[in-house]
Amino acid sequence: MIAAQIENYGEKIGLKKQPVPRIGKKDLLVKVIAASINPIDLKTKDGKMKLLLHYKMPLTLGSDFAGIVVARGEQVKKFQVGDAVYGRVQKNRIGTFAEYIAVDVKDVALKPKNLTFAKASSIPLVALTSYQALHEVMKIKPQDKILIQAGSGGIGTLAIQLAKLAGAYVATTTSEKNRTLVKSLGADEVIDYRSENFAEKLKDYDFVFDTMGGDILKDAFKIVKLGGKVVTLSGTPNYAFAKNYNLPLWKQMALGIASYPITKLAKKTDVSYDFLFMRPDGNQLAALTKLIEAKQLQPIIDSVISLAEIQKAVDNLASGRAKGKIILAVDEKLAQTI
């Protein structure tokens, strides 16, 4: 099979021939029709996840997919060969930028019947991340006020919709040219980050969902009320995260030191600070599928690019200008079919 790999951190991705992966007793072998590219793929490629995730080289990249089951492990009863499925693989089993992927059956759901494979592949990572942030960490309720950063991005476009389904009041940041898009997804208030400072316009928010990190993350604490929460995907993981994630003690201590400035700020403002590392969950994905099939949740696609042009997809994502998700068509003939 053809797979998109790196030989060393920091290098460009190349297409290589690799054996089709073997499956375990509880695995599915899936022919990948489409896969979406996410910021974590770029961070992994550049070695920025080494403190949390250790991989052997060469490494096939890619986290979520949509495809067709071609084989199943002897203990698998839930799916049949020929089923159209989608999912997000475990972090230690990445490799969806390839013609086949072996995936734990627990991390898979049937593909939404009303989505093409390309659109379905855009869902798992961003939808599960948003769902877990909103419902497990924040426990969001009707009338809660939330700021979702980068509303026109892959995470933002799904998070806005899920927050509105929960009955929240949603503010988001984006450029003026994307105002119509985020308003169409349900955003109540839109901040043009190029000409406005959200920290000066918003106050007394219950939550901030941060996808940016840096000074933007620090400013989030200015708008959250006492007892509120800032949940980040891009900030520094803190000691509590490292301990819950069962990292070695030295890594717990290292992250505790690295995150001290932000945890100090959280304590000073009486606001909770949570670093979120989403987990694959086929059952949650199946629940999200129902929302998609009921047309209550829709994916936003920036572009569909062939696997052979993966560097173009990487460059497009790295530019920060994508509206929604960038999709890799692994099988170009089937990617745009339902």
Encoded amino acid at 86, one letter: Y
Q: How far is CA 161 from CA 94, 109, 188, 268, 274, in A?
A: 27, 21, 11, 32, 21
Structure tokens at 279: 């987990």
Under 8 Å between Cβ of 41 and 98 = no
Closest CA to 85 of 310, 289, 293, 333: 289
Q: What is the pLDDT along the chain (338 residues), one digit of tens a residue?
A: 999 999 999 999 999 999 999 999 999 999 999 999 999 999 999 999 988 998 999 999 999 999 999 999 999 999 999 999 999 999 999 999 999 999 999 999 999 999 999 999 999 999 999 999 999 999 999 999 999 999 999 999 999 999 999 999 999 999 999 999 999 999 999 999 999 999 999 999 999 999 999 999 999 999 999 999 999 999 999 999 999 999 999 999 999 999 999 999 999 999 999 999 999 999 999 999 999 999 999 999 999 999 999 999 999 999 988 999 999 999 999 999 99
User: Which pLDDT belongs to residue 314?
Assistant: 93
Name beta bridge partners: 208. Answer: 147, 230
Q: E-assigned strands of the chain?
A: 2-6, 14-17, 27-37, 59-60, 64-72, 84-88, 100-104, 108-110, 145-148, 169-174, 189-192, 205-210, 224-232, 272-275, 301-306, 325-329
Residue 36 C-alpha from the chain's centroid: 10
CA atoms within 13 A on the CB side of 199: 8
pLDDT at 321: 87
Q: What is the pLDDT of residue 320?
A: 87
Q: Which DSSP string do the residues of 14-55 spell out, in sequence order?
A: EEEE-PPPP--TTEEEEEEEEEEE-HHHHHHHTTTTTTT---
Rounded to the nearest angstrom, the gap between the alpha carbon of residue 104 and the centroid of all alpha carbons in its chain is: 18
Residues 185 and 160: their CA atoms lie apart, in Å, by 7
Tokens 């047309």 locate to: 295
Residue 144 CA to chain centroid, in angstroms? 23
- Report phi then psi at 152, rounded to 5: -95, 0
Q: What is the pLDDT of residue 51?
A: 86
3-state secondary structure (DSSP) of residue 85: strand
Q: How many residues in the chain?
A: 338
Spell out the residues 6+ positions from residue 322 whose beta carbon is closer than 8 angstroms to its own. 153, 154, 302, 303, 316
